[in-house]
Structure 1
Amino acid sequence: MTTTWLDLPAVPALPGLFARAALRRGVRGQTLPDLGLRCAISVDGKKLERYRQLCGFSDDGHLPPTYPHILAFPLQMQLLTDASFPFPLLGLVHLENRIRGVRPLGGMGPFIVSVHVENLQPHEKGAVFSLITRLEDQLGLLWEGDSRILCRAVKLGGQPAERSEEITLPLEDIAHWQAPADIGRRYAAVAGDYNPIHLSAVSAKLFGFPRAIAHGLWNKARTLAALGERVPAAGYVVDVRFQKPVLLPSAVTLQASNPASSGQFKLVGNNDVPHMSGSWRVI
């Protein structure tokens, strides 16, 4: 599928997009649009510092490896609420996430951020697709993200793709931290992601959760901050699979294999409840 790119003159405003998402109901088809969105975006230094503090990243002169998701979020929202996108945004589930760092994320921009969707496939619980995000500068690609997202309301023919391999390396505890009751609201204030399931117990219960849950990308960011130099500044791939949600408040433990050019990790809660598992490798 060839992507038809729309270059935006400015970053989309989120309030109208949230309203559009709230009003959207029902599946309108089973074909992903060929629309892609691009925009020149610069980093807000104050917001970046708040993000670093919230996720545990030190200021090493580079953007955190998960920060391009923050820059791209308004474009992602506009694309997933566009009339050509067939699935309602509310109810989509972020299952897996891959980031690939091609070159060091230095500087504050402006960068070209782009988003598009592709690779719609059957899943045992519905259908999954990839939301692809790219960050580029004048020299080309810096970073790429692939968010695999589930829509339960769609059933496709064919066999679901095989799952990626499970943890096979020995792991040891390397970090512990608290996920406080307000982390969903604090992360939303930085990331812009005000999904009700993250904000309070009252709003989360409307969607079937007993309490608010932590953002999956906060879990991943906090994990990468704790992994530190296991993941280099460039030339890496990090994959994660989101498992059971982190109910707020909670205490979690990060387990990881020994530092090497490739490795594995998992984030667990009380009684070894699996919240997230993943791997890194140098490319």
Structure 2
Amino acid sequence: MAIHWQTLPRNPDLPRAYLKAALNRKITGEHLPDLGLRCNLSADPRHLAAYRELCGFGEGGMLPATYPHVLAFALQMRLLTDKRFPFPVLGLVHLRNRIQVLRPLGGVAGVRVSVHAQNLQAHEKGVTFDLVTQVDDPLGPLWQEHSTMLCRQAKIDGLPNPVQTDAQEPQSALVAVHRWYAAADTGRRYARVSGDYNPIHLSALSARLFGFPTAIAHGMWSLAQSVAALRERLPQSNYQLEVAFHKPVRLPSELIFSASAAGPSGQLALHGRDDLLHMSGTWGPATL
């Protein structure tokens, strides 16, 4: 599918996107639009500092590998709430995420961020698609992300991908690297730095409207905390992280992050109470 790119003069307005998301709750089609959005953006130092502190990165010269997702979030929401996009934003489930750091992430000023959707597939629980985000500077691609999203209500023709009913534990021996406590207000605190005010993350009351007994942590918060714990094991560039989100992290919760030994490749896992697996994944050389 050829992408028809639209360049925006400024970062989209998030409150307007949330209003559209609240009003548009129906499935309106069976095909992804050929629309792609681009915008020139820069990292705000104060916002970046707040993100670093919340997600455990501390100070540093290089941009956290998960931060471009936050930088691009308003652009992602603008695409997902476009009238041509067939699936409602509220209710989408984040299944998997792949981040590729292709070159060292410096201050990231005046980069071009682009977003489009692709790879629509039937799934036993609905349909999935990939939300693709890329950051480029004048030399070319810096960073890329594929977020695989599930829309439970939708149906399309085709054989569904099998659902993995059992969470896949990493195969190699992992060692506990870090432990942290996810407080009841973690979702609200992350929403303030990420812009992601999905009701399932904000409070038990709002989460119950969507079938959750309590608020759950953002998957990208869990991933950011994990990347921060891995920062001594990861190179500065030319690597990728791939994770699958399993059971949601109910707030409040105690979490244990484990990883294999340092090296060019490795495995990771995030567990909660009673050894419940919340997230698993790998890192290794970038394949782009």
TM over 0.5: yes
Partner residue of 1:266?
269
Question: CA–CA distance in 2 between the matches of 1:32 and 1:196?
Answer: 25
Deviation of the 1:177 alpha carbon: 0.3
Q: Are residues 32 and 276 of structure 1, via their aligned partners in 2, closer, same or farther at CA, if it must alter by over 3 Å?
A: same
The worse-fitting range, judged by mean Cα deviation, of 158-167 and 106-115 is: 158-167
Q: Are residues 45 and 275 of structure 1, via their aligned partners in 2, closer, same or farther at CA, if it must alter by over 3 Å?
A: same
Percent same amino acid at aligned positions?
A: 54
Deviation of the 1:110 alpha carbon: 0.9
In the alignment, structure 1 residue 216 sits paired with structure 2 residue 219 = yes
Letter in structure 2 aligned against 1:270: R
- Kindly indicate whether the alpha-carbon contact (under 8 Å) linking 2:216 and 2:250 is maintained by their aligned counterparts in 1: yes
Question: CA–CA distance in 1 between the matches of 2:234 and 2:85?
Answer: 35
Question: CA–CA distance in 1 between the matches of 2:174 and 2:126?
Answer: 33
Question: CA–CA distance in 1 between the matches of 2:255 and 2:168?
Answer: 23
Question: CA–CA distance in 1 between the matches of 2:249 and 2:50?
Answer: 22
> What are the equivalent positions in structure 2 for 1:184-199 lying under 5 Å apart?
184-199=187-202
The worse-fitting range, judged by mean Cα deviation, of 93-102 and 224-233 is: 224-233
Partner residue of 2:170?
167
Partner residue of 1:99?
99
> What are the equivalent positions in structure 2 for 1:34-183 lying under 5 Å apart?
34-161=34-161, 167-183=170-186
Question: CA–CA distance in 2 between the matches of 1:6 and 1:165?
Answer: 39
Question: CA–CA distance in 2 between the matches of 1:268 and 1:165?
Answer: 12
Partner residue of 1:250?
253
- Kindly indicate whether the alpha-carbon contact (under 8 Å) linking 2:124 and 2:161 is maintained by their aligned counterparts in 1: no
Q: Partner of 1:230: helix, strand, or coil?
A: coil
The worse-fitting range, judged by mean Cα deviation, of 162-171 and 232-241 is: 162-171
The worse-fitting range, judged by mean Cα deviation, of 87-96 and 166-175 is: 166-175
Question: CA–CA distance in 2 between the matches of 1:143 and 1:82?
Answer: 24
Letter in structure 1 aligned against 2:67: Y
Question: CA–CA distance in 2 between the matches of 1:173 and 1:49?
Answer: 27
Deviation of the 1:107 alpha carbon: 1.9
Partner residue of 1:277?
280
Q: Partner of 1:228: helix, strand, or coil?
A: coil
Partner residue of 2:234?
231
Q: Partner of 2:100: helix, strand, or coil?
A: strand
Partner residue of 1:240?
243
Question: CA–CA distance in 2 between the matches of 1:57 and 1:82?
Answer: 34
Deviation of the 1:166 alpha carbon: 5.2
Deviation of the 1:282 alpha carbon: 2.1
Q: Partner of 2:242: helix, strand, or coil?
A: strand
Deviation of the 1:78 alpha carbon: 0.5
Unaligned runs of 5+ in 2: none
Question: CA–CA distance in 2 between the matches of 1:252 and 1:165?
Answer: 18
CA distances 1:13-65 after superposition (whole Å, capped 9, x unpaired): 11111000000021111100000000000111000000000001132211100
Letter in structure 2 aligned against 1:37: L
CA distances 1:177-200 after superposition (whole Å, capped 9, x unpaired): 010111111110000000111111
Q: Partner of 2:75: helix, strand, or coil?
A: helix
Q: Partner of 2:191: helix, strand, or coil?
A: helix
**TM-score normalised by L of structure 1:** 0.97
Letter in structure 2 aligned against 1:22: A
Question: CA–CA distance in 1 between the matches of 2:232 and 2:36?
Answer: 34
